Structure 1
């Protein structure tokens, strides 16, 4: 992979007037990205999460570097569609427009379980909750002169199960050998394919997907010893600060330098990775139609 020349301290332009929302901003690369953006004076930074105490820590760090910034925390559990609906409705009533939505929150390699709404927990959190947030907030994004949606995916989509996404099993725990990684790969493939479909269906909104790389956040540090061993043996694990770079690039890079619907590796590198599932346009369309049907009652 070619070395990057992106330097967050020099290459992020002024964000004056911009309203930016990031999911999963209470820790890790989400919190770090918010702090990096705050230095460039956006009009309003908003972030979601489940831990109000951690949110206060993020806000304190942001105000230490940008004392006058407007920053708001919205409690939201992305695995619970009622919680997502409530958060989205509040944003629709409170914001005049939205310039950027970064779908960053996620869980990784969890044991088999179901969400409150009866979906496989990683697919519910990583894909379905974000898809509902996107659908609800599209009217706000379309009021911006330069809107963008960034789906934070992972190269782990290469490890999705047979067929890419096992639609008949998404309302089950999908318990199977190496299942936690297969389920994670499935959800990250959905992030990437959904961004591609958004770009196709809403060309007025710049939509694409990225990976931060493998980062030493709680997703790794709080994993089982076996999971951590796999991560460290197969990847170069970055610091949290390094992990923010691709997110900061994605929010701030000039739109003419970004290919709609594409997948970018750190930092700002158009990925050439591909699998049969990642190239399957029929699979992407099936995912879109399945998601539309599942979310209809929440709109």
Structure 2
């Protein structure tokens, strides 16, 4: 169970604080969004057009659905260039191809919003790991590492920090952290991918806990790299959109109680997406932080604990080993 401060923070934010769009123009900027054809990603794309973004790349698993989203977006603006690129986060080869196109074809990259994710109570394997871990964690960070050089290059050339954002969630507070405490070092992902032990009912929560831990650790490494190189910063943050009425939980909606509560206090996708749009416009004070209601807020009590910080290092090391196996030397982007 989450600690009382975590529950109070969630309730205050969900019930009494309304996310606000940033007062910032994206004119001249290029932004890439994964999972952009529906839900929060699509709503964020609509916000960016409202804020005059010049170039918008929609990363979608289904090109047809992406093209349909593109047509809707183009009715809102004739000055924004919108492209649809295929990326399947359950396929490392697809992620690498997407990143390669991003690095070769884009003259600049001002912001990458890693939004694509899944929530399912069904066990499936993708790339030899349980699929939620592959999509929400490993592929997401693989894309982050592969895009880092382009983001850094853009920041250096423009003199303005670029943004790298992975969508987080308040549900990291509800995750059973013992599932990543118990496995021995080097066996976390393998243990979680063991079908006989996989707790799929809570897997989405756990994936968002792992994401937040790894964002915190990666941002530390990025800050050290900046100190050594003196290069312009890439701001890396992790926004929580709140509890939103999207299609994310269409396979596992938590039952009748959760459905009715969501109807009462859930945010619209548009309101939730304001947190993502804000995150890719935020200043350096958000680097490495969990954001909620467009503000820096504390991560869960456990994440901030001594045990949580020790497990963070253990999970990070294992993630880096995974990534270097998928793409040898990819972690050198932080050196």
The runs of 5 or more residues in structure 2 that have no matched partner are 1-11, 156-160, 224-232, 328-335
Distance in 2 of aligned mates of 1:288 and 1:295: 10
- Distance in 2, matches of 1:174 and 1:98, equals 42
Partners of 1:33 and 1:174 in 2: CA distance: 38
Determine the structure 1 residue equivalent to 2:4.
none
Within 5 Å, which residues of 2 pair with 1:97-246? 97-115=108-126, 117-145=127-155, 146-163=161-178, 165=180, 167=188, 168-173=190-195, 175-176=197-198, 179-203=199-223, 204-220=233-249, 222-224=250-252, 227-229=254-256, 231-232=258-259, 235=262, 236-246=265-275
2:332 is matched with none
Tell me the residue number matched to 1:260. 287
State the aligned residue count: 289
Deviation at 1:30, TM superposition (A): 0.4
Identify the residue that residue 281 of structure 1 maps to in structure 2.
309
- CA contact 2:163–2:281 (8 Å) conserved in 1: no
Q: TM-score under structure 1 normalisation?
A: 0.89
CA distance in 2, matches of 1:6, 1:240: 12
Q: 1:4, CA displacement in angstroms? A: 4.4
Structure 2 vs 1, CA of residues 157 and 54 (structure 1 numbering), >3 Å: closer, same or farther?
same
CA contact (8 A) 1:111 1:180 kept: yes
Tell me, in whole angstroms, the C-alpha distance in 2 between the residues paired with 1:15 and 1:149: 15
Higher helix share: 2
Q: 2:69 aligns with which of 54, 58, 63?
A: 58
Partner of 1:249: 278
Tell me: higher relative CO, structure 1 or 2? Use CA pairs within 8 A at least 6 residues apart. 2
1:65 positional shift: 1.0
Superposition CA RMSD, Å: 2.1
Unaligned runs of 5+ in 1: none
